[in-house]
Structure 1
């Protein structure tokens, strides 16, 4: 009879262990319905695949900029921190996965005791190998926590991808800012030379008594204004370089820095956006929000599982003896196996409150996910809105530059001929200088817009266009895939 009960007890324990290891049904419930209310198309769209499919080495045509981006990807501290966060999340996922498995450990003890039934004190030696409080995951609590850790890890990896895309955009725009700050500096220096020549001419005319002192002082004002602009743009050049060095994470070699305005930054003539669904796949920030929404659903499953008893299994097997020399001899083998049950009867609604908190967290994650989709489409359409009219603005500004330059030349000729006053020359000169400055700003805005459109579409994650980009399925996607297989 004892042998029968022992066999039955072992069978029950083994069956319970097998049932726990069989991965129980999750209690996370159905996933929420996403209602982002996104547009069916973009503000404007060129036929063809999205430019985000291009690697940054194909999209950017300037070899110097590509080298600067490579340096930034290797040395930028924000990107390095993002990579370390991935390592941290990976270890947290490993811990959550390990919690699904029993923890096995060895133990040993020496106990000296005295009892009334024994004639004298005696010592007990014990050595065993055992499982300590292994939770039988009947309700899927441990599995849900593992799913949540998986989604957090995937969200962290996607956040790192977002950091890379943002970094490439910031570096390329800072590189352009340095180039156009130099262009503005050179324009200011040229203007200063012209103003100094005007000042010298007016001073000579004053010295010989042709004009009064007023044109001399007017010319002097223009000279000092131009000198101020030169000093200001020298400061902007140094600040642009400092920002670029910070983004790259090191001092940039001089041969990689543009010393004049950049005419072209990409070989693309048409900036196609692809179809709207491409944006949901190409934007890692949307993926991050999706993973966080899935993690919130897994946390609901873990909270609901706490409504049910927590069943843990403890077992050990080893040797015990009152004589150390007999510890490993025949007849000293001992074992024990038994479950434990934990179910709070009165917790004053704490577990139900935790479920409500988890459900609210899911609603927050859903709102963040929907907003990330809406924000992505808004950013793309904003970039497209600029793209639609930037060509017209550039054409008009170039014509304005031509007109103001011609006006300045005519005014200068009329002044030297004694027809007009120097004030007319000053007005024409200021208009020409301002038009030249605005043209540089507009050319920079055009190139920045090309970078912005590439970034907002999700471009910059690939190095080369042929590089594959894959996003692992979230725990909720894996759950539904398994259900489809079962059906």
Structure 2
């Protein structure tokens, strides 16, 4: 019985797919041991009832409505994050291209061939024109993936997709932390600027008083010059902070990727409760570090390198490809699909590497070195993450004490200023003691603003270092799942 089109190709495709991808020569993946200590070498105490950073979405961590709105704007307008998302889409498209190699490409074709023979070559002695019409359905150069070469390449492409997605999540987490840090810095700049304006006003009042006393012969010219110096120092600080505030505002808008409206900027004292104040529990390094997107990205890159080893090993074995077609041919178009016009062709091809001047060995060596590089990069990511958390925990432990001491310093400096002014009015001390007390109070107040900013930035840094939102990122794009071979 003549094989028919409906029987030949489906049977061929079924057998081909059953034989393809039956094995893989890629090494089994084993996660490298974390080259870090089992604890943070720093106080890791936190609220035992608090959510872990990985379970805490950034919308829960950021409590200020203005700052949340700025972050939302940055997540839609920031160009770095946009590029990271486009990289994910590009990797997904590349994976689709590579995965298509695991399935045969079936194409249909139809054509006409017309040929004129001169009288001298014609059997009838007259010029003749012959025509042939064909319609075929076929498979071209489909590789039977007996040793898993094509599947290993597909697995490598999939791991690159997953690594790129983790890179996008890492970029998003970094962006959230950077925007929060920039916004908090602007808030601190505004507070310091307001404090400097108040200090300048107080020093100008003091200068006017000194001028009256000097005119009355009660105060010396030295006191007058000291008061003038204090005023000019305050004016210099005011100009510096004004310029710094403008620069930090511009930096924040560049980070967001769009101009900010008046409602977006922080108001007085808004930075005090801009983020979650409950201390985040640090947990153990083995539990925390593996949840960070950058560490997961490094692991997926390692798995991609391992899959490339499988493809390089498969290159040493024979490669079988199939080309087949079935259809119909007829000298007349209206008889193309009549009985007796069927045709088919089957062309298997075997390719066995014999001599390639060491190319396959060099490619395998390259893949193995790439795997070793990926292991080192994974271990480096673990070590870098460990240091970030350890540094943040050590800073958190000291900032609490520093903040308490700075508040006491401000209180004592304010008392010293009141006493110096009282002694000056009583004629016990000269004006210099009062000016020194003013400078001390001003420096202490500026230091307190800096410590409060450092405490806020430390909370943001720890949230990022502990893999903030790694398990609660509802915005993560769904990545393709690895299919069994």
TM-score, with normalisation over the residues of structure 2? 0.88
Q: 9, 34, 37: which is aligned to 2:35?
A: 37
The aligned runs of 1:12-91 (5 Å cut-off) are 17-21=16-20, 23-32=21-30, 34-42=32-40, 43=42, 44-46=44-46, 47-48=48-49, 49-91=51-93
Residues 443, 406 of structure 1: alpha-carbon distance in 2 compared, 3 angstrom cutoff: same
Alignment match of 1:401 (pick from 380, 403, 410): 410
Q: What do residues 59-103 of structure 1 show as CA deviations (whole Å, max 9, x unaligned)?
A: 222222222222222332222222222111111111111111111
Specify the SS of the correspondent of 2:139. Answer: strand
Q: CA 1:175–1:12 in structure 2 vs 1: closer, same or farther (change >3 Å)?
A: closer
Name the stretch that deviates more: 237-246 or 348-357: 237-246
Aligned in 2, Cα 1:87/1:156: closer, same or farther, shift over 3 Å?
Answer: same
Worse-matched range after superposition: 315-324 or 10-19: 10-19
Unpaired segments ≥5 residues, structure 1: 483-487
Aligned equivalents of 2:397 and 2:90: distance in 1?
44
Query: 2:165 touches 2:477 (CA, 8 Å); kept in 1?
Result: no
Indicate which of 93, 96, 106 corresponds to 2:95.
93
- Could you say which residue in structure 2 is the equivalent of 1:252? 260
For the structure 1 residues 329 and 10, does the alpha-carbon distance in structure 2 shift closer, same or farther, using more than 3 Å as the test?
closer
Establish whether residue 437 from structure 1 lines up as the match of residue 436 from structure 2.
no
Q: Which moved more, 1:167-176 or 1:410-419?
A: 410-419
Aligned to 1:378: 387
SS at match of 2:323: strand
Residues 324, 117 of structure 1: alpha-carbon distance in 2 compared, 3 angstrom cutoff: farther
CA distance in 1, matches of 2:9, 2:459: 70
- How many correspondences in the alignment? 470
CA contact (8 A) 2:328 2:342 kept: yes
Q: 1:309 to 1:114 in 2, by over 3 A?
A: farther
For residue 45 of structure 1, give the secondary structure of its aligned residue in structure 2: coil
Identify if the C-alpha distance between structure 1 residues 118 and 131 changes in structure 2 by more than 3 Å, giving closer, same or farther: farther
Shift of 1:11: 12
Distance 1:10 1:430, change over 3 A: closer
Q: Which residue of 2 aligns with 1:151?
A: 159
Contact 1:294–1:474, Cα closer than 8 Å, also in 2: no
1:41-440 pair list within 5 angstroms = 41-42=39-40, 43=42, 44-46=44-46, 47-48=48-49, 49-113=51-115, 119=123, 122-261=130-269, 262-440=271-449
Q: Deviations over 1:76-134 (max 9, x none)?
A: 22222222221111111111111111111122333345789863563433322211111
Contact 2:289 2:467 in 1 (8 A): no
* Alpha-carbon distance change, 11 to 160 in structure 1, aligned in 2, over 3 angstroms: closer
Q: Alpha-carbon deviation of 1:362?
A: 0.4
Q: Which moved more, 1:333-342 or 1:197-206?
A: 197-206
Q: CA RMSD, aligned part only?
A: 2.9
Alpha-carbon offset, residue 260 of structure 1: 2.2
In structure 1, how many angstroms separate the alpha carbons of the residues matched to 2:480 and 2:32?
17
TM-score when normalising by structure 1: 0.88
Q: CA deviation at 1:221?
A: 2.0
Q: Check 1:270–1:3 CA distance in 2 against 1; reply closer, same or farther (3 A cut).
A: closer
- The secondary structure found in structure 2 opposite 1:312 is strand
Task: Report deviation, 1:206.
Answer: 2.6
Shift of 1:336: 0.5
- Contact 2:24–2:152 (CA<8 Å) still a contact in 1? yes
**Structure 1 residues 344, 55: closer, same or farther in 2, change over 3 A?**
same
Assess if the C-alpha contact under 8 Å between 2:13 and 2:104 holds in 1: no
Q: Gapped runs of 5+ residues in structure 2?
A: none
Quickly say closer, same or farther: Cα 1:118–1:275, change in 2 above 3 A: farther
CA distance in 1, matches of 2:260, 2:398: 35
